[in-house]
Amino acid sequence: MATAAKGGGPPSSVAVCGYMALNFLSATCIIWINKLAYNNGFTWATTLTVLHFLATFIGLCLCIMAGQFTHKRLPIRSVLPLCVSFCGFVVFNNLSLQYNTVGTYQLMKVMTTPVIVAIQYLYYSTTLPFNQLLALVPICIGVALATATSVEVNLLGVTFGVAGILSTSLYQIWVKTKQEELKCSSQQLLLYQAPLSMIMLLSVVPAVDDIPTLINFDWATYAGGLVVASCAMAFLVNLSIFLVIGKTSPVSYNVLGHAKLVVILSSGYLAFGEPYTLPNLIGVSLAVFGIISYTHLKMNERKEPIVPTTAEIEQRDEKLVQFLSMAGPESEIDPEVAMEILAANEWDVGKAWEQLRGPDQAMQSETPERLPGINPEDQRQTWEEQMSLDYARRMQAQEYGPLQTSPMANTSGGERLIASPMEEFAQQQHWTSPLQRQEDEALRQAIENSKKTASAGGDASGSTSEAACISDDSVDHMDVEVMQSQEAAYNRARSNEFLTGPSPSALSSQSQVSDAERVERETQRLRAMVDRETRQVQDQEYLESLKMDRKREEEKQKRDEEISDAAAKYVILKSSMKRKREGLPPEPEKGTAGRVEVAARLFNGKRVQRAFLDSEPVSVLYDWMDSELFHDHDRAAAAATAEEEDHGQEFTEADLNYHLVSRMPRRVFDKRDITMKDAGIENQMVLAAERIR
């Protein structure tokens, strides 16, 4: 078994030639062995195919035990299409041979090559160079002339033939693409395909093979030995098919198949004296010419490189990011204009920013003018708190009722301790709550009762009956000075009760109040106390909400700054990718010496392809991949935006942290300063972008 060189490098031309030689020899040998087995009595073709895959599976298991390759878990759902296409390839080709003439069968098999080219172009965006397409024309025409003797057409035969062409084409294409999609080697993929295809074909065996005669077959005969030899050779055939297609392409494998057929036909004409006609000779000549031309073109393919970014460009990119971040995401400054402004100011970000804003432009905002010596951020927070407090005060005014002057507003007995800014503001504005007004009214009534009681007690020393008969007219004739002194006494009593508690005279007067009035006043006092405590809790919650609002505002500002910075970096990255794409050297003409064509898989599985010169450094290949990865993400984001869908995360420089690797055998191309030729990058090589973890 051909194995990759240590180090995981890509297969050299010698290795590819070895794979093709292995396929050529094993396929030729198995044809003759199968023919001998068929002539000696083993006529069950589908059963023989099942045995071939059983032998292939056993051989691969032995290779794992010998350490030739490691087993990799693959999703069976992804391998099933490959298995189904192979079963279709076996069944439909056998039915095509059964219902068509040999000439029609061979002619339809030739159509596999153009069908593969068409499918690759339509569904995988893979195109062959024009000169290689021209080389395929004489191959197909030549093989058709050399093999198609008598052509007869019928509907059923054509149907089976077309189905066989499609299944064969898909099978060969998927042998290539599944290795890249599943990131596995030829052996690892074949380890899954062989047993699954064997199980599927077992369900077909009863319909196409004669089971009773198969059961009675004597395996100890010469034919049984040939079957065992055929199974051993099938292991090499199947493995070499996967190796050749995996290292080259389905089209190249088809050309190899045509070459095998031409060699077999030519050997029959020359060595065994088989009859031939002029169209046969012309066909063989055309096919040989096309095969040589195609091989020559494939051997002369090459690749190309890219200009790396300089340290000066990186520094300017950083300054441009800083400049655009200062402008903010809403500024919509064109990056090219920003670069011109920076260049005009010798890449001084401060000077460029002053030029952009202008000398007389001032910051426009709804915040008050800044005070000297005060941190602008602290002033802004104070201003926001003041605005929020004004709103809370308006809500408090609605809760407390209309403003009115409290009887205690002008007292001279000191100042009350204030529990919160809202209570302080309420006192300054002389607000009173309904409960407080009820307390004031109850106290006023108590003082009035006290006055009446004191007046009645003074007259009692003269005559009890006269005190009882005092009328309201006596109050009308009271001196004005007495009324003023009573009002002053009331004010002092009210103030003293508020600051130091009720006075003794007030207590003695209150003792005259009925129990119902005392209960009512106590209830009102408790309600007022609960109300004040409730307001204190509300004030505390309000202050906490202010802190939370400030914290949310800071987080929002931080997010906005991050978004602005990310947007600026994205603009710079986009400009850098544009320069990289525009800085790529043009693709060399087909047929140019040193031209190589490289295919690469992006992170999302999309395949891209481009031609380079093998004298260019590997860094050119990375610049090309950088621009392809960015523009693929940019196109996907634009499509998602048009569909009003979330396109996921933005493309960042972290997405450019990857290696270019080849599969089967694996090799990492991380030396960017050497040429592609020295790195071992060959024509038609398929690479993949692999993130660095």
- Distance, CA of 287 to CA of 283 (rounded, Å): 6
Q: Which two tokens stand for residue 449?
A: 């009762």
Could you tell me if residue 53 is inside a domain?
Answer: yes
| pLDDT surpasses 70 at 118 | yes
Residue that wins the pLDDT comparison between 304 and 553 = 553
For residue 531, tell me if it sits in a domain.
no
Render pLDDT for 366-396 as a digit per residue (tens, 0 to 9). Answer: 334 443 444 445 544 554 455 455 545 545 5
What pLDDT sits at residue 506? 47
Residue 166: per-residue pLDDT: 92
Q: Who wins on pLDDT, 48 or 504?
A: 48
Burial of 533 (0-12, 13-18, 19+ CB in 10 A): exposed
H/E stretch holding 391 reads helix 376-400
> How far apart, in Å, do the first and last CA atoms of the chain sit?
33
At 217-267, the pLDDT tens digits run 777 778 788 888 888 988 888 888 878 877 777 777 777 777 777 777 777
Q: 295-331: string of b/e by CB count within 10 Å (b at 16+)?
A: bebbebbbbbbbeebeeeeeebbebbbebbbbbebee
Measured CA angle at 463 (ends 462, 467), to 5 deg: 105
The residue out of 247, 275, 308 marking a domain boundary is 247
Strand extents, DSSP E, 364-521 = none
Instruction: State residue 203 phi and psi, 5-degree precision.
Output: -70, -20
CA distance 153 to 157: 7
Q: Are 173 and 125 in contact (CB under 8 A)?
A: no
Task: Classify residue 253: in a domain, yes or no.
Answer: no
Helix (H, G, I), strand (E, B) or coil at 151: coil
264: left (phi over 0), alpha (psi -120 to 50) or beta: alpha
In 614-671, beta strands by DSSP E: 658-662, 667-669
- 328 — pLDDT class (breaks 50, 70, 90): low
Does a structural domain hold residue 625? yes
458 belongs to a structural domain: no
The pLDDT of residue 615? 86
* Among candidate residues 198, 229, 247, the one where a domain is terminated: 247
Higher-confidence position of 478 and 437: 437
Question: Other CB atoms closer than 10 Å to residue 355's CB: what's the count?
Answer: 14
Element (H, E) at 138: helix 130-147
| Mean pLDDT, residues 65-83 taken together | 87
Residue 3: is its pLDDT beyond 60? Answer: no
Number of domains in the chain: 2
Looking at mean pLDDT, say which of 16-20, 165-169, 360-364, 437-441 comes out highest: 165-169
Residue 472 confidence (pLDDT): 42
Closest CA to 7 of 675, 670, 691: 670
Q: What is the pLDDT of residues 162-210, one digit of tens each?
A: 898 899 889 889 888 888 888 888 888 888 888 998 888 888 888 877 7
Under a CB-based contact definition with an 8 Å cutoff, are residues 202 and 50 in contact?
A: yes
Considering 311-320, 404-413, 436-445, the range whose residues carry the highest mean pLDDT is 311-320
Q: Please, how many CA atoms are within 13 Å of residue 471, restricted to the half-sphere of its CB?
A: 3
- The pLDDT value recorded for residue 446 is 66
Please check the confidence at residue 689 and state whether its pLDDT lies above 50.
yes
Average pLDDT, the chain: 71
Higher pLDDT residue, 441 or 676? 676
Judged on CB neighbours under 10 Å (0-12, 13-18, 19+), 403 is exposed
Contacts 24+ apart (CB under 8 A), 119-126: 119/169, 119/170, 119/173, 120/173, 120/250, 120/251, 124/173, 124/177, 124/607, 125/607, 125/608, 125/609, 126/599, 126/607, 126/609
Which pLDDT score is estimated for 643? 61
Q: How confident is the model at residue 158 (pLDDT cuts 50, 70, 90)?
A: confident
Q: Which residue has the tokens 């408790």?
A: 526
Residues 479-492: tens digit of each pLDDT:
444 455 555 554 54
447 or 201: which carries more pLDDT confidence? 201
pLDDT at 409 over 60: no
- Asked whether the predicted pLDDT for residue 587 surpasses 80, the reply is yes
The residues, ordered by sequence, that sit 6+ positions from 148 with a Cβ below 8 Å of its Cβ are: 103, 104, 106, 107, 110
In this prediction, residues 630-647 reach a mean pLDDT of 68
Name the pLDDT band for 569 (thresholds 50, 70, 90). confident
Within a domain: residue 628?
yes
Residue 115 in domain? yes
> Where is 402: in which H helix or E strand?
none
Determine the Cα–Cα distance for residues 4 and 12; give it in Å rounded to an integer: 9
List the beta bridge partners of residue 600.
608, 687
The answer to whether the CB of 188 falls within 8 A of the CB of 71 is: yes
Per-residue pLDDT band at 58 (split at 50, 70, 90): very high
Residue 598: both structure tokens together: 């490289």
pTM to 2 decimals?
0.42
Percent of the chain's residues with pLDDT above 70: 66
CATH number at residue 692: 3.10.20.90
Distances (CA, A) of 585 to 2, 376, 473: 37, 54, 119
In this prediction, residue 148 carries a pLDDT of: 63
For residue 621, being part of any structural domain is answered with: yes
Out of 228, 247, 266, a domain closes at 247
Domain range spanning residue 656?
Answer: 586-693
